[in-house]
Amino acid sequence: MGLQTTFHAPGGGADFLGLRKSRAGSTEIVYDDGLKQRLVWRVSDGAGDQVISDALQAAVGAPKVLACLYQELKKRAIHIERV
């Protein structure tokens, strides 16, 4: 089974989380609420894509996606910086 890199909130929710590689080769996390907010963070440590993907999958199903995302990243010691 391949690595899942995009996640949409269940039940028709507009929240989107994605994992991508920048042109420079760094890993980035993308959040979009479907209305007005789009945020991008660069992963500043060497966390593996599978660990990041697990955090995104856990967060996208929560009622407050952003709050849960920060919690899941902290729990896994994944450090990010805003782009």
CB neighbour list of residue 14: distance below 8 Å, 6 or more residues apart: 33, 34, 35
Model pLDDT for residues 52-68, shown as the tens digit of each residue: 999 999 999 899 999 99
Model pLDDT for residues 1-53, shown as the tens digit of each residue: 456 688 888 876 789 999 999 888 899 999 999 888 999 999 998 889 999 99
The answer to whether 44 touches 80, Cβ cutoff 8 Å, is yes
78: Cα separation from own chain's centroid: 11
Query: What's the pTM?
Result: 0.88
